[in-house]
Structure 1
Amino acid sequence: MFDFITKRSFGFNLLVVIALFFALALLFFSMLGVITKHGQQLTVPDVRGKNVKEAIATLERLGFEADVRDSIYVDSLPPLAVYAQTPDKGAQVKVNRTIYLTVNKMVAPMVKMPDLEGLTFRSAEMMLKSMRLNVGDTIYKPDFATNTVLQQLLNGRKIKPGTPVAEGSNITLILSSGTGSIENPVPNFVGLTYAEAREMLNASNLNPGTVIIDPNVKDTANAFIIKQVPTRKNEIGDFNMVRAGESVDFWLSATKPVTDSIAPPPAAEE
């Protein structure tokens, strides 16, 4: 073979090499479509909501590769169900294309409850979303700062900031609706316990303001109110008026105040 090549002229050998190169190039490009499976496309099926094992088996049976890329927790989905897929359903892709899956976690991870009180509803919503928590019910209550968070609840109970809660939990927000437009006389709280006053405040859609407690008080709930601002009546005897959402300040004492229980007798007629 070597002798055959050496006995030919350089020009002849060069032509043979060029011809061989073009033959290989022609063969390569003719096989390129087969190698890359050009023109062979598949429609991506919808595997969202399926168990991850079932989804992978379905994709591989149809000619796709499958890979779990991420996980998330959604309380409305079963554990290990497919939450999202990339490419999405209906996409036209080549055979053996890898479909990336996001799967629902088995157990909800715990996050610390943020402090939402005092924030606007929009800010509270964004903070909850960033921590993968959801806004549940929104309940409006009269108060000064319109559309701000007054309380945060989980399952109907107040939840303190920093308390561990499961991702995906629904947080109920008590929001301020602003003060009312109708004025009513200030209730008389003097002589009531603080617990009784709180019930009356709720019934009147009023809020507790500043509470000043006497040093001798051991039990705040059962301490007695000895002073309130605004008072029931003003200096000339007219009723002071308040609107829903406004506050009343209290002074608390361990001793119940003495109040007049007998009205003064009417003046004698001349």
Structure 2
Amino acid sequence: MFKSITKRSFGFNLLVVVGIFAVLGLLFFSLLGFITKHGDTLTVPDVYKKNIQEATMILENAGFGVDVRDSIFVDSLPGLAVWEQTPARGSIVKVGRTIYLTVNKVIPPMVQMPDLTGLTFRSAEMTLHSLRLNVGDTIYKPDFATNTVLQQLLNGKPVKPGRDIPEGSNITLVLSSGTGNTENPAPDLVGMTFMEAKETLSASNLGLGTVIIDPSVRDTANAFVVKQTPMRRNSLNELNMVRAGESVDIWLSNTRPEKDSGVVPAPPVEQED
């Protein structure tokens, strides 16, 4: 065969080679549509919120490949549920196209609780959202600084800054509603223990201001209030009035006062001659 080829002219052999390549080219292009499945398209089904196993079965039965490319935590979704799919649902793609899925984590990651005390509600809300935490209930209490955070709670209990908590937790914010318009008599705290005084102030919607402790005090909770500002009565023996949200300063000592030092004796009444 080699001799028969070599006996032919170069021009003839060249035409034969060109013809072979032309036939191969025509064959390739005629099969290209079949190889690439040109014109064979499918609509991507919706697998949002479906469990990863169910989503995989739906996609593979529809002629797609499946690849889990990422995970995220969304507290409103069950674990291993599909959060996102690419291409999106309803997209027209070729048969066999791989659909990339983002699924929800089973165990939420932990984040550190921020210190929200003293922030405005808006700032606290933005801080929580940046850490993927949610604002739960809002509770208002009288206080001077209107609409600022007085306390942060998790599951009804105070939560300290820096504590690790699950991402997606609902944080209850105790906010200041400002001072009230109604005036009430200042409570009489003198003679009470420190804990009793705190409970009385809380029940009266008053804040605890400065606490001055005698150096001899070792057990603050059971120390006695010997002085307060504002006092129960003024120098004219009239009741001092306070508004909800205002603060009362107290002085603590180991010794219980013998009498109510917050009560000023009434001035003597002069008798006419």
| TMscore range, shorter length | 0.7 to 0.9
Measure how far apart 1:26 and its partner are.
3.5
Q: Deviations over 1:25-70 (max 9, x none)?
A: 4433333322222222222222223221222122111111111222
Sort the Cα spacing of 1:97 and 1:125 in 2 relative to 1 into closer, same or farther, 3 A.
farther
Distance 1:183 1:16 in 2: 111
Matched, 1:232 2:226: no
Sort the Cα spacing of 1:123 and 1:262 in 2 relative to 1 into closer, same or farther, 3 A.
closer
Map of 2:222 onto structure 1: 222
Q: Deviations over 1:164-218 (max 9, x none)?
A: 2222221111122223333434333222222222222222222112211112222
| AA aligned opposite 1:150 | L
TM-score, normalised via structure 2 length: 0.84
Distance 2:225 2:149 in 1: 28
| Counterpart secondary structure, 1:60 | helix
Distance 2:79 2:10 in 1: 73
Distance 2:144 2:15 in 1: 95
Sort the Cα spacing of 1:94 and 1:179 in 2 relative to 1 into closer, same or farther, 3 A.
farther
Measure how far apart 1:20 and its partner are.
4.2
Measure how far apart 1:79 and its partner are.
2.7
Sort the Cα spacing of 1:21 and 1:180 in 2 relative to 1 into closer, same or farther, 3 A.
farther
| AA aligned opposite 2:137 | D
Sort the Cα spacing of 1:183 and 1:71 in 2 relative to 1 into closer, same or farther, 3 A.
same
Distance 2:35 2:208 in 1: 78
Map of 2:130 onto structure 1: 130
| AA aligned opposite 2:49 | G
Matched, 1:70 2:70: yes
Sort the Cα spacing of 1:66 and 1:238 in 2 relative to 1 into closer, same or farther, 3 A.
same
Distance 1:128 1:58 in 2: 37
The correspondence of residues 124-163 of structure 1 with structure 2, limited to 5 A, is 124-163=124-163
The correspondence of residues 69-108 of structure 1 with structure 2, limited to 5 A, is 69-108=69-108
- Structure 2, unaligned runs of 5 or more: none
Map of 1:55 onto structure 2: 55
Between 1:24-33 and 1:156-165, the stretch displaced more is 24-33
Map of 1:112 onto structure 2: 112
Sort the Cα spacing of 1:12 and 1:195 in 2 relative to 1 into closer, same or farther, 3 A.
same
Distance 1:3 1:143 in 2: 109
Distance 2:55 2:149 in 1: 42
Q: How many residues align?
A: 270
| Counterpart secondary structure, 1:221 | helix
Q: For the Cα contact (< 8 Å) 2:229–2:250, is it kept in 1?
A: yes
| AA aligned opposite 2:227 | K
Between 1:150-159 and 1:220-229, the stretch displaced more is 220-229
Distance 2:233 2:38 in 1: 90
Q: For the Cα contact (< 8 Å) 2:185–2:241, is it kept in 1?
A: yes
| Counterpart secondary structure, 2:199 | helix
| Counterpart secondary structure, 2:208 | strand
Q: Deviations over 1:92-134 (max 9, x none)?
A: 2222222222222233333322222222223322332333322
Between 1:82-91 and 1:60-69, the stretch displaced more is 82-91
Sort the Cα spacing of 1:40 and 1:203 in 2 relative to 1 into closer, same or farther, 3 A.
same
Matched, 1:189 2:189: yes
Q: For the Cα contact (< 8 Å) 2:237–2:264, is it kept in 1?
A: no
Matched, 1:40 2:36: no
| AA aligned opposite 1:149 | V
| AA aligned opposite 2:189 | F
Sort the Cα spacing of 1:4 and 1:140 in 2 relative to 1 into closer, same or farther, 3 A.
farther
| Counterpart secondary structure, 1:46 | coil
Q: For the Cα contact (< 8 Å) 2:235–2:264, is it kept in 1?
A: no
| AA aligned opposite 1:246 | E
Q: For the Cα contact (< 8 Å) 2:236–2:266, is it kept in 1?
A: no
TM-score, normalised via structure 1 length: 0.85
